[in-house]
Amino acid sequence: MSKLDTAPYKGVRDFYPKDQFIQNYIFGIWREVAESFGYSEMNASILEPSELYKEKSSEEIVNEQTFTFTDRGERKVTLRPEMTPTVARMIAARKRELGFPLRWYSIQNFFRYEAPQKGRLREHWQLNADAFGIENLETDIELISLANAIMYRFGAKDSDFVIKVNYGDNDAEKLGEIVGQLEIRGIKNIKIDPALARGQTYYTGAVFEIFDTNPENSRSLLGGGRYDDLMGLFDAEKIPAVGFGSGDVTIRDFLQTHGLLPEYKNSATLALLPIEKKYFDVAGKIANELRKKKVNVFIDWTDKKVGDKIKNADKQKISFIAVVGEDEMVNKQFKLKNLKTGEEREVTLDKIPECVR
């Protein structure tokens, strides 16, 4: 029997703990900033009827870039390539029950069958933020302000990115109002770009995108616009809407290029290292007491030497270690060592929580 390949499917990623740490950091900031603007989180399945995308997504996306298959009921099904049609479907389904204006966000994964390259994969995760029920420019300005706030929260400076906006020839009076209103809100790094165009055909007004000013990252970091007519797909009345999406692949590239990636930390704050098997039970009891006090504890149950256990804890980026042996049991004192600074101190069990924080 031939050996199976250990590589993931082409164009998707495995998330080892350090990768997931960064992913959670990105998701955390997306969630924090979206909720600070009053947006509520929603969710949906990755499976949608294929016809949902045929009317309003671009021909390239529908015909060349979707993962589409026929299910056992002879229905055409697509792994979602984007979120906006799904959100519109959900709004149309319960529009009489929902109170407008609505502000929703989600963090979902998406699939597109395309050639993997820098900044673009076949699966990615994305923040989507959408506002429904307000037709005036204030909503457009709010969404751009939200996008700008996300970039600031990641640690970016004005010189690190540019916001490009296009209102089209029919909305020229808006090329000055939008810039003026954003400048009043302190957003200066904005540029009107008549050549800017989004790939989806459902946009009816303003479109905007954020680009890294570093030439190493030429792709858009975030993009969206107004789509007031999308509810027509479901024979529903017109509901004005504005939204954007921001992908994790390009955001991660941006953070790496600008030195803004967070330093990895293990979820465990403390590693308990019993020196012999006979101290395993004691270590387990100590760990349970500490966990009740919200200390995340890792126990090394191996029969390795203490020195090797310390090296392993350091390799896994656990901040503190404490040995569990005869001396600790007799003296009721633990030598707590900070692996990052090398500092060591003797403390009683009840003092460990405050020390590791």
Tell me the per-residue pLDDT of 6-55, one tens digit each, with 9 for 90 and over.
999 999 999 999 999 999 999 999 999 999 999 999 999 999 999 888 76
pLDDT, tens digit (0-9, with 9 covering 90-100), for 48-94:
999 888 766 666 677 788 999 999 999 999 999 999 889 989 999 99
> Among candidates 312, 318, 141, 170, which has minimal Cα distance to 242?
141
Q: Report residue 41 as tokens.
A: 């989180």
pLDDT at 244: 96
pLDDT band for position 218 (cuts 50, 70, 90): confident
| Span of 120-129, 134-143, 226-235, 343-352 with lowest mean pLDDT | 226-235
Question: Residue 180 above 70 pLDDT?
Answer: yes
pLDDT at 168: 62
pLDDT at 146: 97
pLDDT above 90 coverage of the chain, percent: 72
How many Å apart are CA 48 and CA 86, to the nearest integer? 8
Residue 197 to residues 202, 204, 315, Cα–Cα distance (Å):
12, 11, 47
Taking residues 164-175, what's their average pLDDT? 69
pLDDT band for position 174 (cuts 50, 70, 90): low
pLDDT at 204: 83
How many Å apart are CA 271 and CA 287, to the nearest integer? 9
> Torsions phi, psi of 64, nearest 5?
-120, -20
Taking residues 178-195, what's their average pLDDT? 89
> Torsions phi, psi of 119, nearest 5?
85, -5
pLDDT band for position 177 (cuts 50, 70, 90): confident
Q: What is the pTM of this model?
A: 0.91
CATH architecture of 17-257: 2-Layer Sandwich (3.30)
| Span of 231-240, 266-275, 331-340 with lowest mean pLDDT | 231-240
pLDDT at 63: 74
Q: Is 200 exposed, middle or buried (0-12, 13-18, 19+ CB in 10 A)?
A: buried
How many Å apart are CA 340 and CA 355, to the nearest integer? 14
Mean pLDDT over each residue of the chain, to the nearest integer: 91
Does 270-356 match 17-257 at the fold level? no
Question: Residue 182 above 80 pLDDT?
Answer: yes
pLDDT above 70 coverage of the chain, percent: 95
CATH architecture of 270-356: 3-Layer(aba) Sandwich (3.40)
Question: Residue 169 above 60 pLDDT?
Answer: no
pLDDT at 150: 98
pLDDT, tens digit (0-9, with 9 covering 90-100), for 304-327:
999 999 999 999 999 999 999 999
pLDDT, tens digit (0-9, with 9 covering 90-100), for 258-302:
999 999 999 999 999 999 999 999 999 999 999 999 999 999 999
> Among candidates 224, 233, 163, which has minimal Cα distance to 197?
224
pLDDT at 57: 66
Cα 294 to its chain centre, rounded Å, is: 25
Q: Is 143 exposed, middle or buried (0-12, 13-18, 19+ CB in 10 A)?
A: buried
Q: Report residue 112 as tokens.
A: 């597109």
pLDDT band for position 172 (cuts 50, 70, 90): low
Q: Domain-by-domain residue ranges, the chain?
A: 17-257, 270-356
Cis peptide before 101 (omega within 30 of 0): yes
Q: Say what angle helices 173-184 and 137-153 make with each other, to 10 degrees.
A: 50
pLDDT, tens digit (0-9, with 9 covering 90-100), for 201-215:
777 888 999 999 998
